[in-house]
Amino acid sequence: MDFTPTTEEKLFRKTVATFVEKEVMLVADELENKGEFPTSLFKRAGKLGYFGLRYPSKYGGTETNTIMFCILCEELARGWLSLAMITAMQSLMGTNFIYRFGNENQKNQLLVPAIKGEKIAAFALTEPGAGTDLESIQTTVKREKNNFILNGTKTWITNAPLADFFTVLAYTDKSKGLKGVNFFLVEKGTPGFSIGKKIDKISVRGGTIAEISFDDCQIPLQNMLGKDGEGYPQLQEILAEIRVMTGALSIGLARRALEECIKYSQERKQFGRPIGSFQAIRMKLGEISTDLEAARLLVYYAAWLIDQKESCMKEASMAKLFASEMANRAVDEATRIHGAYGIAEEFPIQRLFRDARFLLYGGGTSEILKLIIGREL
């Protein structure tokens, strides 16, 4: 494996970093405090082509690789995790199943405008009583003549209040366990579909999250995405990408924390000199930096394996586990370096501290990832 970034990768990273520094960082704190969906930044990301990195040019994408997608996620998270999370949803989980299993009409009507940022996508997996334990989901689908009838409730759905379409996991045959689950496409405005309560959070406030419900919701037969009984294998295929993506988000957030610490340690003076000259501070910076580089190697190695079409559930799980935990260690140390200012709203470090917690849950908790890694050994 060659660790040297390609010319294309260098240029892309520089382009995204410029967007982040000149457009995202200037408004991130204001939008985060308001808890507003970043509509203008979302549309801007669509125009820049960020939502279509993983998709072919025939649908408006640029068909780049997983490493390029990780670069995007990392740089966006360095600026504002809310926007990075929304972008990941739009360009991966929310649109992946339509691209892979939808018909051409669905792709032209939904995927193409989603890549442009003209429609918003969402992914509905989690339920009030089912997260990691997918076999416990209660959402069901029954076939009646020319329609499917969908019933159930989903929660923690990113973009739910604003989304134009949803990819929903539901049972077609509960007696078959996970062999009886499938993904279905549900569009906003479908009779029987409703948005429930918004979930207020202490972090990623720019990403709106809510419950959704289905009450005898009728959807066409063609809205089953893939063949009957293949929902769980479909999910397993995308999980490695989700975990590597979350690892990239973690790297970006930790990078920002380190940058803020270096800046603060050069400006803050105690006992007549910058605190960055003290051994205790240098040791903290050294540890954060070392952890960060270790996480980077794990994440980009796993991304490279995906691009080589290699099976990498173990490596992707390791990458997500280490990177998300690393980001939380990094922001904890960062607040200590800042002292009392670490919890002052005028400094971005408090937002990074809050946002880092969100990284622990998506793509699998640390506990379940450790079990997966152990199983793969």
Query: Where are the domains positioned within the chain?
Result: 7-119, 122-229, 238-376
The yes-or-no answer to whether 122-229 and 238-376 have a common fold is: no
Q: Which residues pair with 228 in a beta bridge?
A: none
Pick 122-229's CATH classification: 2.70.150.10, 2.40.110.10, 3.40.50.2000, 3.30.565.10: 2.40.110.10
- Residues whose CB falls within 8 Å of the CB of residue 150, separated by 6 or more in sequence, listed in order: 139, 140, 141, 168, 170, 184, 186, 192, 193, 214, 216, 217, 218, 219
Given a cut of 80, whether residue 54 has pLDDT beyond it is yes
Q: How far is CA 359 from CA 7, 324, 327, 363, in A?
A: 30, 6, 8, 9
Domain 7-119 sits in CATH 1.10.540.10: yes
CB 285 within 8 A of CB 265: yes
Radius of gyration for the chain, computed over Cα atoms and rounded to the nearest angstrom: 21
- Residues whose CB falls within 8 Å of the CB of residue 353, separated by 6 or more in sequence, listed in order: 331, 332, 334, 335, 342, 343
pTM higher than the cut 0.85: yes
Diameter over CA atoms, the chain = 80
pLDDT averaged over the chain?
A: 96
Measure the CA–CA gap between 302 and 296, rounded to whole angstroms: 10
Nearest to 9 by CA among 303, 220, 231, 242: 303
Residue 1 confidence (pLDDT): 67
| Topology at the third CATH level for domain 238-376 | Butyryl-CoA Dehydrogenase, subunit A; domain 3 (1.20.140)
Summarize pLDDT for 312-369 with one digit per residue, the tens: 999 999 999 999 999 999 999 999 999 999 999 999 999 999 999 999 998 999 999 9
Given a cut of 80, whether residue 15 has pLDDT beyond it is yes
State the number of CA atoms in the 13 A half-sphere of 233 facing the CB: 8
